[in-house]
A and B are shown apart, each in its own frame.
Chain A
Amino acid sequence: MEQYSSRSKEKMFFAFLAGFLYLLAGSIQFVFSLSTMLGLFPVISFENGLIGIFFAPSDLIGSLILVLIGSIFIYGLTELRTGLNEGIAYIYVGILISLLFATVYVLVMAGNWMDSFLLNGPETNGWDLLYDLRPAIYLGILPLCGYLIWRKEFRAMNK
């Protein structure tokens, strides 16, 4: 690793961490979603259990998106490791896409809450925060930190 600058090392570590977390979360969610769909395990244990809270609810496409985001980060990491500085583009785009999907899920959550509020009043019966708190939202905190730290660098790339 001596050939890499400290800045590159930071980004490589970030890409590894983000890629690993997204891939892990995506893979677990994918397996659970598929199991739930095919009725391989009792659905209730995933919806109510600890893992069920973190990866609830089963969301097949959502899980594939997490895997995709993870793959983007890992792709960037492999390019950077082989000395291709352009691999930074994958980290940049990975951050953008992960923030984009975190926003999508936050807006979906807001929409569901508002709809429940309109139909059921302030009690918002039928709306469950844990049901809408998808992994893409809380995993988005890491890319958000990355964006805040390197935003000037990203902006300067087209100068």
Chain B
Amino acid sequence: MKEKMPPLSRRKFLKTSLTAAAVTAGAGTPLIKSLVPKAHASGSRPPLGELTSHFTACDMCFNRCGMIARVRNGVIEKIDPNPKFLKSRGMICARGNAAIKHIYDPDRLKYPLRRTGKRGEGKWERISWDEALDYTAEKMLEIGEKYTRCGMMFIPGSDMQSQLVHRFAEIYGSYNITSHETLCLLSKNRAYLDTIGEVPYPDVFYSKYIIIAGANPFEAIITPDTMDFFEARKNGCKIVVLDPRFTKTAALADEWYQIKPGTDMAFFLALCHVIVKEELYDRDGCCPKMTYGFDEFFLHIQQYTPEWAEKECGIPAEDIIRIAREITAAAPAAMVYPGRRTSDYEDSTQIRRAMAITNALLNNFDKPGGLLALREVGVKTPYYDIPWYDDNPFDRVEAGLVPGLIDHEGSFQLMREAIISGEPYPIKGWFNFKTNFMQTAANRNKTLEMINHLEFIVNIDIAMTDTAWYSDVVLPGASFLERKDPVSALQGSSACACAVLRDPVVPEMFESRSPFWICQELSKRMGFGDSFDFTIDEYRLKQIDGLDGAMEAMLKDGVYYNPSQVYGIYAGSPLKTLSGVKEIYNQRYARSGVDPMPVYRKRRMPDKNQFRLVVGRTAFFTHAQTNNELLTEFMEENVLNMHPDSAQKMGLKDGDLIEVKSRVGSGRLRLELTEGIERQTVYMATGFGALSPQMSLVHKKGASISEVLEDYHDEISGNMAMHETLVSVRKVA
């Protein structure tokens, strides 16, 4: 006979629970209101396990802000700012706070995959790491054999391990290495290199007058600039913003001018006109002694009057004159903010040249509150031998297509053209790390066409991005919180020249591996294992060789500061330009048939049924990685912004589902009306409309900019030009 537990009677239950209640009451939790003591016993029980804190550097964008990760029972619970990290001014933005959903993302790749169906069909087989590495090495060697080592294109990403992927690409033997930056800031870099010989850092903190054009630093968030604008303002700095959109930067500026898109150069040339005509520049130190081509510029600028500029850009002449007087009064602690993403127009280098020349007239380089020269951090790149392959072609595939290609960056867009045409030589393989061109590069259909010309694509990423979705082998990368990374040198404002490193906060999840390990394993299989026969610890020691106390500081405070000189670095010595002074007139441009001084040209403007499409992002999105539960809550899909007057003319209403169409593609998304946009301009945010179903939060949500944007490029640097596209908008029935 089986013995059965007697059912718990109601009375027994009451008895037990009452005893339990009595015990609890004895322990201090009151049961009756009148007995509530002054200090309540805690309602929630403290979680088990000890909380430990770990320094790291953020990787949700490129700023590398200092973080402290709080870990309990092996799980990261919270990310906090590192108060000793001056570059980020002791803050972590929404993106950084959302890093826990980056590492603990249900969409994370868990093990190596190999494509079994057609590209983009989504049929995969799980393979072992050995199989994945053997197969990848075999394919890469095969491509090298058939098409030379330059037959592989490498995208090393913009990560703290990217330098190792770069090293891997060079040792493999390809020159065809390009980057996300060729969709971003190359035209600005080009303009400043060609004017002052280097890419400066704005000293926002000590500035007294700042013009922001073609930049949205309060939403894009760049550290420490974004925070420093407010500190500068407390000290009386004036901020003037030119933007066709009423961005949050515009909303918080002292003055906002709704400039016609693409006419910024007209404004800056007119500003220079006033500065030169009224002799507002610093005559003793700067012009014409410390510049090259001032006299030519004096003549060149005559045509660009404020009255002319008013007709072009829509900003009243009297405002241009007043701003010229105000900013020169504040100089040299004044600046035209250089900005970051300058991939907008076909003449974006020349637009930034006009801004850089304005800065030259303000004589603000290497001075407090102006533009800062590159400071010494002292972190070295350990030496490595680059092998010689006799059969390799002479240069990178897109060399010579534009006069100002930055050699170690190239241009993804021009490379894509070369891959499709097969000229001057074939590229048949693609090694990609953490870059999602399918979602970021204009004209997605052309990227798909490029892929059809490739025999092998291998992709390392943390999730199945659109680019991974079209790859042949997908390798699960470790997130930044799980990796041991080399030292990275950073500079920001006058706040710091500093160095950071990353140690794993938690172990690698699933079968994910770091790109360093992947490169090591592939090198062994391809016969150059010796080049990667070191540990990250050994590599770091070589990087910081000669920097006393750097390692101790990075381990103790999460950051090392080099107390190197901040201002007056050049003090009398020549700049890194051809003439040794600031080049208002660029001699190399003149020789290669490029306008040596910026010449304003009218661009294609939308006709009355068209709009210019501009793109951008918010403070809570991370480029094409916006598949984060904590961030998409603020915006579940992107919308198209349009002025209500324009919408009314077309019979469109707020919330309508519309189709936005260019010559190369179209997208469907909801319309959102706002007066804060120029009447013939429409705007959409980047990061949506993903093709990959495994980007589950943004898959088929809104539209992708890459699908609608046409592919133009900057004529000097080859940087992508994303604001040249004219679109039509119609309601979807």
Check if A and B associate: no
Please give the residue numbers on chain B whose beta carbons come within 8 Å of chain A beta carbons, in ascending order. none
Please give the residue numbers on chain A whose beta carbons come within 8 Å of chain B beta carbons, in ascending order. none
